[in-house]
Amino acid sequence: MAPKVRPPALDPQTVPARRGSSYPAPYQAEVADRAKRPLGDATGLTQFGVNLVELPPGCWSSQRHWHSHEDEFVYVLDGELTLVTDGGEQVLGPGMAAGFPAGRPDGHHLINRTDRPATYLEVGTRRDEVDEVDYPDIDMAVRVLGGEQTYVRKNGEPYGPAPLPHRASRKEPGA
């Protein structure tokens, strides 16, 4: 029998996974099967977020994007992921990492092009009050409107009849 884990430690498998994305249609399909376990929230972190992310075969981490005010970092735990940036593609395996400094306009995301699941840690700054996100390949951006991060088209028009919030719960890094 495994020893009982007590705070500040935790068993990541006890943290409920968030599936999919808050992206507006039609940008949800590529990330629909993504599962994020918000470990930072579960441990009470407030300065940065930490997610344990699983991408099944064919799934994307996000639409390709970059942040104005939030750093992002990923560390591959298991499987193989293709990192896609403005500079091209490269394969990341277990023990490999990538970092994306805030304000650097280099759209990035991960794609699982293998036939088995891949798992990685995602770490990012929490700067909702000022962070905006650009998606170079699609007609979408995140802008701060009325103090809230909101999905908009590149012309600034919000998605939907009411503004669609960028994150259902602002505790997760990554878009």
What is the reported pTM? 0.90
CATH 2.60.120.10: does it fit domain 19-128?
Answer: yes
Residues 67-77: pLDDT tens digits? 999 999 999 99
Domain boundaries, the chain: 19-128
Residues 12-47: pLDDT tens digits? 999 999 999 999 988 999 999 999 999 999 999 999
State whether the Cα torsion 147-149-154-159 is positive or negative: negative
Is 46:126 a contact under the CB 8 Å cutoff?
yes
